[in-house]
Structure 1
Amino acid sequence: MHRRAFLDAVAIAAGRAKQSAQEDKHGDVKAKSALSREDARRQGSLILVAEDNEINRKVILQQLMLLGQTADIASNGREALERWLSGDYALLFADLHMPEMDGYELTAAIRAAEKTGETRMPIIAFTANAIKGEAERCLALGMDDYLSKPVQLVNLKAMLEKWLPVVTSDPIAGAIASTTNSQSRSPHDNAGNAPGFHPGYIANPAQGTGASAPVDVNALKALIGDDGAMVREFLHDFRISAAKIAVELRTACAAGQATAAGALAHKLKSSARSVGALALGELCAAMEQAGKAGDTETLEALLPRFEQELLSVEGFIAGY
């Protein structure tokens, strides 16, 4: 039995909770009410998210809210480090590829600072690149777990249950939580990996894809819920953000700036996948790789296809 189910069963048996048969569309994930920031800080459950992509920030904040969690946002690693120094946070989600200070550098700085103290904050890596060896590098640098974007709600829930301290005033549940947490927080499994660490995990971008539509809205709903107004807001925000990035991407390609073009394609890739613009995301992934390789010819060849797909996505969103 999973820890959460065990705690629920104890609560039901003790008369402190009623059993509910209601399940939502995300499996066993049910929407909860989030604490205020101050209450979360006092109770030791405040989360810090380091993510430079605006759409990805909105997605993760919405997901955490659905799971009843409260979080602060840092737009780069340097800002995240400054926030971490406050001592307010119980858990850090960090994107690996950020400006000024990336997730690797952020983790190294935090782990170095922690050596002088007694606490060690769990750090979970977020990345849109499921590159072989990247998970092992995360672990070697002191991260505790790894999630590929776009993160499914049930996977995020499982990660929170594993690494976020359980706050409770109930001595029975507290004792159970203490025992199960000590087991689930074992630094490594028998294979040398952190618990739940999936080095070979790659998010399946084709899952739930509508073959004829440039945007699979169900992919977005699987991440943030099926509230119509919220879905439209996310799609609208993505359309604006994508248009801005596309302008910079065209400029970089025209100037032969392969590295800059690759970085911009990376930025758009994960947010495109999050909202369900999967074909656009795959084109961005191809442009990202070409940019990293300095392959300006491939970038030029991919750009017209990118423009066409972006136009299709924008048209779909405009009519949604």
Structure 2
Amino acid sequence: MLENDQLRHTKTIIISSATSEDKQRCSDLGVASYVTKPVVQSEFLETILNAMVSPDDIVDIDPPNDVEQPDVALRVLMVEDGYVNQRVASGLLERMGHQVQVAGDGKLGVEAWRDGQFDVILMDWQMPVMDGREATQQIRREEASTGNHIPIIAMTAAAMKGDRERCLEAGMDDYISKPIDPKELAMVLRRHAPDDSPAATEASKEASTDDATVQPNAEADGEVTPDPQPDYEVIDIEHARNRMRGCNDAFLTEIAKVLREEAAQRVKEIEDALAASDVKVVTRGAHTLKGAAANFGAKPVVELAEQIERLGKADDLAPVPDLLESLKQQVARLDVELEAFVNRQIDP
């Protein structure tokens, strides 16, 4: 569509009152995406982020030497509303050799499950429109008449007392915490692989021998140590590299860009919900921000977001305004450091 070489890799998003024929024409022309009028701000932001970090654009990925390859490739439905976690988890699953389809909330997840053929569902707990509990219960109700049962694994940026129990009571089969650890993810997928797959047999062996998360040792594995990074006060680049094993800093840079956008959006979401005394949205926004920031080991942001989430769950918003002001300051610092990291990769 774009003949100028300097614009060849520029993403194009069409905004129009598009018909189905217009949609097909945009696809034929190589348009990255299209948005129909009237434009919804949150959906438009998601469209932009999806265009920015398309998997097809991440071409300089290191060989997945330390990402475990599965005995069998699974068809995974990931139901997750956080943009950063979508990118990180789907990238990790794809490097493991699995097929991944992403749904942005529980309602879309249920619809995707109805229309597709999947071996397992990774289900976030707190989402807009329909949360993970409601989506799981809906799937279980519909399965009751068929006798089928798809494994549903809860994903939540939480280590809160009772979270695992609540997930299992909702009809989920297992639980994995965010940020996702590749070793833990590989193990839980093996545990719930189809009964006739080699992965299912291996799962029982691993359950008795691998009861702890194993962090990679770059020197022991003979890996080349990346160039040292500047001293950051909020983000932890080595933590991010460990969390996203199997990719290099080109992918990490793209995730950093998305995190900058999402962190700002979640803070605004919390602020608006607080003004409206909407406890549910305050809690969900803090929960999502906590999980996204944890991928970069941003402890000051994670800790404040977790405090706000806890208060939301306790239906106590009185202390939140002061915490929100502190959170804004830490997110501003996070943004500065992420920008510095991105710029360093572009112009080392």
TM-score, length-scaled by structure 2: 0.66
CA distance in 2, matches of 1:316, 1:178: 41
Aligned residue number for residue 170 of structure 2: 141
Determine the structure 2 residue equivalent to 1:220. 240
**Letter in structure 1 aligned against 2:268:** V
Match of 2:82 among 28, 32, 53: 53
Deviation at 1:256, TM superposition (A): 5.2
Q: Who is 2:201 aligned against?
A: 180
Residue of 305, 313, 321 corresponding to 1:284:
305
Aligned AA for 1:315?
V
Q: Is the 8 A contact 1:238 1:275 kept in 2?
A: no
- The alpha-carbon deviation at position 92 of structure 1 amounts to 0.5
Counterpart-to-counterpart distance in 2, 1:121 and 1:301 = 43
Deviation at 1:30, TM superposition (A): 4.0
1:111 aligns with 2:140: yes
Gaps of 5+ in 1: 1-21, 168-173, 185-194, 203-209
- Please give the alpha-carbon distance, in whole angstroms, between the structure 1 residues aligned to 2:145 and 2:97: 33
Of the candidates 224, 227, 230, which is equivalent to residue 251 of structure 2? 230
Structure 1 residue 278 displacement after superposition: 2.0
Aligned equivalent of 1:16: none
Structure 1 segment 140-179 matched on structure 2, within 5 A: 140-165=169-194, 177=198
CA distance in 1, matches of 2:272, 2:185: 36
2:260 corresponds to 1:239: yes
Name the SS for the 1:245 alignment partner: helix
TM score, norm. by length of structure 1: 0.71
Alignment CA distance shift 1:146-1:30 (3 Å): closer
What is residue 225 of structure 2 aligned with on the other side? none
Supply the distance in 2 between the matched residues of 1:313 and 1:164 (Cα, whole angstroms): 38
- Pairwise CA RMSD of aligned residues? 3.1
- Separation in 2, partners of 1:235, 1:122: 31
Of the structure 1 ranges 53-62 and 299-308, higher mean CA displacement relative to structure 2 is found in 299-308
Q: Per-residue displacement from partner, 1:140-174 (whole Å, max 9, x unpaired)?
A: 3321111111110111111122212388xxxxxx6
The offset of 1:224, in angstroms, is: 1.8
Give the drift of 1:243.
Answer: 1.4
Q: Is the 8 A contact 1:242 1:268 kept in 2?
A: yes
* Contact 2:193–2:200 under 8 Å retained in 1: no
State the distance in 1 between where 2:273 and 2:164 align. 30
Task: State whether residues 105 and 130 of structure 2, in contact with CA within 8 Å, keep that contact through their aligned partners in structure 1.
Answer: yes
Q: Which amino acid aligns with 1:221?
A: R
Matched length: 258
Partner of 1:75: 104
| Cα pair 2:179 2:295 within 8 Å, conserved | yes
Which letter maps to 1:213?
Answer: E
Q: Are 1:319 and 2:340 counterparts?
A: yes
Deviations 1:54-78 (A, max 9, x none): 1111111011012111110111111
Distance 1:81 1:251, change over 3 A: closer
Say whether the 8 Å CA contact 1:63–1:223 is kept in structure 2. Answer: no
Cα distance in 2 for residues equivalent to 1:310 and 1:182: 40
Within the alignment, does 1:302 sit opposite 2:323 as a pair? Answer: yes
